[in-house]
């Protein structure tokens, strides 16, 4: 069969034009949504009298059998078809003949592709929400398993104050929870039906868009037919949400890379998730984590690519819009793979308590606690900061931790010091003393853990 739009042309298209124009090689990804959309459209046409019952039955039967064959991998992706929409229609015509010629009534590929892509994106938003929840749960379980472990917390990548590992992990759970909110939010704007906008102006035919909307589970119909066929905001928003997920994942991966590095040695990679070197026999490399970090590049690249495609496009549909699919498909596939792998990986990460103690012992992590202790005794914070700083300098000169200074040395700097001060000078005990809401205090973190467990169960 020739092209479905061949009517007004005398001669055929140049082979290079054909190849260049072709989107089937990637948009076959949309076959399920294309068929689902067509069945709903045909049903609506039959309801309003634009298609008789027998033709609708033939179309529905034909499309259903095509779906089965797609699922079984039995539909060859013949490049003679420009895109998935043409392929499905050509296939339907081959199977049921004449009635297939009525399916495209009151429809254009412009509103059709926008509808397919919204259906596809909506289902992937739901899938990625599930993936994020699974990763959150894996992190919460790890935090729970290691809930006693105190590690150095950093600012400027300099050891700063002791924190619970659980607190550090739950920081990522907070990020992923915001990511889920963002996906849910852009899902609302994705869940709007463009079909019925036709090419750009709507139609003179008596269609019922609300009926199609209900059949496809959309929350509303697009208000403006020109906007409906040209709007790709939902793709941009999804890619922006995925970019932020990629950034959170990349930061999490980087933390785990540092923890498992030869310098830190705070955590150990399980064999199942480490890779060796082809030349250095001793190596255990964190390839998974590095790839998770690196793949953020392509996800963010997808967002930028689409934004550039959209900039300056005149209304309504332009073929440039075909360039929306590959970045979206790739970003979704990448995000799915990264989240799935990290969810399996984190439970296998093991931490070394002795090494944590060793890391806590250097760097005067208790200096801030000491200053706050003096504030509790009534001292102005700036004075307390100064005194704690002087004590750090002394301890550094003698190469001992703050707890290695004698009470006489403390009292020489300020007469109010008593033995009690030593209680605050054990970094591993810092979480017993943090008390502000949202802090790394034992009680606050236990409460946060319990809340996350409940929320995610
Ligand atoms: N393959 C096209 C796309 O992805 C479908 C819409 C084509 N519309 C048209 N007027 N040529 O955008």
Summarize pLDDT for 207-252 with one digit per residue, the tens.
999 999 999 999 999 999 999 999 999 999 999 999 999 999 999 9
Cα 246 to middle of ligand 1, angstroms: 30
Cα 122 to middle of ligand 1, angstroms: 20
pLDDT at 9 over 90: no
Q: Is the minimum distance from the CB of 321 to ligand 1 under 6 angstroms?
A: yes
Residue nearest to atom 7 of ligand 1 (CA): 109
Nearest residue to 196 via CA among 184, 205, 187, 185? 205
Across residues 131-144, what is the average pLDDT? 98
Q: What's the CA gap between 183 and 123, in Å, rounded? A: 11
Nearby residues of 185 by Cβ (< 8 Å), 6 or more positions away: 237
114 — pLDDT class (breaks 50, 70, 90): very high
pLDDT tens-digit map of 324-340: 999 999 999 999 999 99
Q: What's the CA gap between 372 and 292, in Å, rounded? A: 39
Across residues 25-47, what is the average pLDDT? 98
Pocket test for ligand 1, best of 107, 111, 231, 322 (most atoms within 8 A of CB): 322
What three-state secondary structure class fits 94?
A: helix
1 — pLDDT class (breaks 50, 70, 90): low
pLDDT at 138 over 60: yes
pLDDT tens-digit map of 287-309: 999 999 999 999 999 999 999 99
Residue nearest to atom 2 of ligand 1 (CA): 322
Task: Say how many C-beta atoms besides its own lie within 10 A of residue 435's C-beta.
Answer: 10
Task: Say how many C-beta atoms besides its own lie within 10 A of residue 297's C-beta.
Answer: 12
pLDDT tens-digit map of 226-237: 999 999 999 999
Q: What's the CA gap between 404 and 247, in Å, rounded? A: 42
pLDDT tens-digit map of 65-91: 999 999 999 999 999 999 999 999 999
Q: 351 - beta bridge partners?
A: 267
Mean pLDDT of the chain: 96
* DSSP-assigned letters across all residues of 328-343: HHHHHHHHHHHHHHHH
pLDDT at 50 over 70: yes
Q: 154 - beta bridge partners?
A: 159
The residue to which tokens 């309003």 are assigned = 48
Q: Is the minimum distance from the CB of 114 to ligand 1 under 6 angstroms?
A: no
281 — pLDDT class (breaks 50, 70, 90): confident
Tokens of 139: 């992190």
Pocket test for ligand 1, best of 110, 116, 117 (most atoms within 8 A of CB): 110
pLDDT at 25 over 90: yes
285 — pLDDT class (breaks 50, 70, 90): very high
- Phi then psi for residue 350, to 5 deg, are -115, 145
* DSSP-assigned letters across all residues of 380-421: -HHHHHHHHHHHHHHHHHHT--GGGS-HHHHHHH-TT--GGG
Task: Say how many C-beta atoms besides its own lie within 10 A of residue 104's C-beta.
Answer: 15
Under a CB-based contact definition with an 8 Å cutoff, are residues 324 and 83 in contact? no
Q: What's the CA gap between 413 and 435, in Å, rounded? A: 27
Burial letters 219-240, b for 16+ CB under 10 A, else e: eebbeebbbbbbbbebbbbbbb
Under a CB-based contact definition with an 8 Å cutoff, are residues 29 and 325 in contact? yes
Pocket test for ligand 1, best of 319, 320, 321, 324 (most atoms within 8 A of CB): 319
* pLDDT of the residue at 237: 98
Q: Is the minimum distance from the CB of 113 to ligand 1 under 6 angstroms?
A: yes
Nearby residues of 32 by Cβ (< 8 Å), 6 or more positions away: 67, 70, 120
User: Residue 107, preceding bond cis, omega within 30 degrees?
Assistant: no
Cα 82 to middle of ligand 1, angstroms: 9
pLDDT tens-digit map of 342-370: 999 999 999 999 999 999 999 999 999 99
pLDDT at 377 over 70: yes
Under a CB-based contact definition with an 8 Å cutoff, are residues 39 and 61 in contact? no
Domains and CATH numbers, the chain: 6-105 (1.10.275.10), 110-357 (1.20.200.10), 367-425 (1.10.40.30)
Residue nearest to atom 11 of ligand 1 (CA): 319
Q: Is the minimum distance from the CB of 83 to ligand 1 under 6 angstroms?
A: yes
* pLDDT of the residue at 278: 84
Burial letters 340-369, b for 16+ CB under 10 A, else e: ebbbebbeebebbeebbeebbeebbbbbbb
Residue nearest to atom 4 of ligand 1 (CA): 322
pLDDT more than 70, % of the chain: 100
Residue nearest to atom 12 of ligand 1 (CA): 322
Closest ligand 1 atom to 117 CA: 4
277 is catalytic: yes
pLDDT at 384 over 80: yes
Q: Is the minimum distance from the CB of 109 to ligand 1 under 6 angstroms?
A: yes
- Phi then psi for residue 419, to 5 deg, are -50, -30
């Amino acid at each position: 069969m020739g092209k479905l739009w061949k009517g007004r042309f005398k001669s055929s298209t140049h082979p290079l034009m054909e190849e260049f124009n072709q989107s089937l090689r990637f948009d076959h990804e949309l076959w399920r949504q294309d068929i689902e959309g067509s069945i709903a459209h045909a049903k609506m046409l039959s309801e309003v009298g634009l298609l008789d019952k027998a033709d609708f039955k033939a179309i529905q039967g034909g499309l259903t059998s095509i779906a089965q064959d797609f699922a079984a991998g039995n539909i060859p992706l013949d490049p003679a078809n420009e895109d998935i929409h043409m392929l499905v229609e050509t296939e339907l015509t081959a199977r049921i003949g004449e009635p297939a010629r009525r399916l495209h009534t009151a429809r254009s590929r412009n509103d059709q592709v926008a509808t397919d892509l919204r259906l596809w994106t909506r289902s992937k938003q739901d899938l990625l929400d599930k993936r994020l929840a699974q990763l959150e749960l894996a992190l919460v379980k790890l935090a729970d398993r290691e809930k006693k472990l105190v590690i150095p917390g950093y600012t400027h990548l300099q050891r700063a104050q002791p924190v619970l590992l659980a607190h550090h992990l739950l920081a990522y759970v907070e990020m992923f929870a915001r990511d889920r909110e963002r996906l849910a939010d852009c899902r609302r704007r994705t869940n709007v039906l463009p079909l019925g906008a036709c090419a750009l102006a709507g139609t003179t035919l008596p269609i019922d868009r609300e009926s199609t909307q209900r059949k496809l589970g959309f929350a509303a119909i697009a208000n403006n037919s020109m906007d409906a066929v040209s709007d790709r905001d939902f793709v941009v928003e999804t890619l922006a949400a995925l970019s932020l997920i990629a950034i959170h994942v990349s930061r999490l991966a980087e933390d785990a890379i540092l923890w498992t590095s030869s310098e830190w040695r705070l955590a150990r990679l399980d064999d199942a998730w480490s890779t060796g070197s082809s030349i250095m026999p001793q190596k255990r490399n964190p390839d998974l984590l590095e790839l998770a970090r690196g793949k953020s590049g392509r996800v963010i690249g997808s967002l930028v690519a689409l934004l550039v495609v959209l900039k300056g496009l005149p209304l309504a549909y332009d073929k440039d819009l075909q360039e929306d699919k590959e970045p979206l498909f790739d970003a979704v596939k990448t995000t799915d793979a990264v989240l799935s792998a990290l969810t399996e990986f984190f439970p296998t990460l093991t931490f070394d308590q002795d090494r944590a103690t060793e890391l806590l012992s250097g760097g005067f992590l208790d200096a801030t606690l000491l200053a706050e202790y003096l504030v509790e005794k009534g001292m102005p914070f700036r004075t307390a900061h100064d005194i704690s700083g002087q004590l750090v300098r002394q301890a550094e000169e003698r190469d001992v931790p703050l707890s290695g200074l004698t009470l006489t040395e403390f009292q020489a700097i300020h007469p109010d010091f008593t033995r009690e001060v030593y209680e605050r000078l054990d970094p591993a005990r810092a979480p017993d003393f943090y008390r502000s809401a949202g802090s790394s205090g034992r009680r606050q973190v236990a409460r946060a853990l319990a809340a996350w467990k409940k929320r995610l169960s």
